[in-house]
Amino acid sequence: MTRKASSAPLAAEGPERDNTGPRSLTRLLGLFDVLSLTQNGMSLAELSATLASPKSSLLNLLRPLVAEGYLIHADGSYRIGPSIIRLSASVMSAWNFPKMIRPFMEELVERTGETVLLGVLNKEAEAVAFVELVNSPHPVRLQVPVGTVRPLYASPTGWLLLAYADKGFRDPYMASVQFKLKMPAGIARASITREMAKIRTEGVCSAIDTPIAGVGSVIAPVFDGNGECIASLTVAGPADRFRKDMDLLRATVKEVAARASGIVGAAQPGPR
């Protein structure tokens, strides 16, 4: 960026505004919005006029965006850069994620005869959220509405997502979690910690009558192309049907989740 672009006119703008908070975020989104509509880019003066924003405030946004590749600055104009294109692709991939995984869920229902749920970790709520569902054809089946949220400590799916979560989240959570829901005897920090270690070793989680009596479940992780667990596939139903077929269910869910992971990884944009 040239010195000329940031000299006299900037001094005339007055004191720099605070570049934090909702106003800065709105300005940032507006910046990408207007630049996405032009192939030739826009100058600082044009951006300032279009966004009704001081040049000094805009420059505070533009400089790091150029440095990180979100924008390109050449010939006095700013244009959309490769990093924002990759980010957009990631956002669209995430938006279509349940649709991408659904064929694997339908396969699991066909092969197991049980209800299949797609779960994701909600770190802010310290919970697992079930964002997609394919019901079992059986008249007697598990009923879990899409959007159901369960505390991480109170669900085998939560244990699996915790097992593969980054230590920066998992360790403080396990140290401070309060068991506000009544749990069966034997379910405590120590037992969940042991279960998480077992999950990481075996690559699958299974439970019968835990934490809900009469319910069986098998859960396996779905990984992205970087090896990070981004979701779980849970097969769940009446415990009696799980007792007789647990080994086969574990192998089936793990195998299908591994193939789902391969599809997710292939759909991701390449490394930066």
DSSP for residue 173: H
DSSP string spanning 135-167?
Answer: --SSSS-----TT-EEEGGG-HHHHHHHHHS-H
Residue 124: the pLDDT is: 79
The C-alpha atoms of residue 99 and residue 132 are separated, in whole angstroms, by 9
Q: Which domains does the chain have, with CATH numbers?
A: 4-88 (1.10.10.10), 96-267 (3.30.450.40)
Residue 95: the pLDDT is: 64
Residue 197: the pLDDT is: 98
Task: List for the chain the helix, strand, coil content (%; round to 5).
Answer: 50, 20, 30
Answer whether 0.85 is exceeded by the pTM: no
DSSP for residue 16: P
> Which residue, among 134, 129, 147, has the nearest Cα to 103 in the 3D structure?
134
Spell out the per-residue pLDDT of the chain, length 272, in tens. Answer: 333 333 333 233 333 334 444 567 888 888 888 888 777 899 999 999 988 889 988 998 999 999 999 999 999 999 988 888 777 766 666 667 888 899 999 999 999 999 999 999 988 789 999 999 999 999 999 888 888 889 999 999 999 999 999 999 999 999 999 998 888 777 889 999 999 999 999 999 999 998 889 999 999 999 998 899 999 999 999 999 999 999 999 999 999 999 999 988 876 654 43
Q: What does DSSP say about strands 115-122 and 229-238: parallel, antiparallel, or unpaired? A: antiparallel
Contact residues for 261 (Cβ-Cβ < 8 A; gap 6+):
221, 222, 223, 224
Residue 266: the pLDDT is: 74
Residue 14: the pLDDT is: 34
Residue 87: the pLDDT is: 78
DSSP string spanning 216-229?
Answer: EEEEEEEE-TTS-E
The C-alpha atoms of residue 217 and residue 220 are separated, in whole angstroms, by 10
Residue 23: the pLDDT is: 65
The C-alpha atoms of residue 52 and residue 37 are separated, in whole angstroms, by 17
Contact residues for 1 (Cβ-Cβ < 8 A; gap 6+):
59, 62, 63, 66, 73
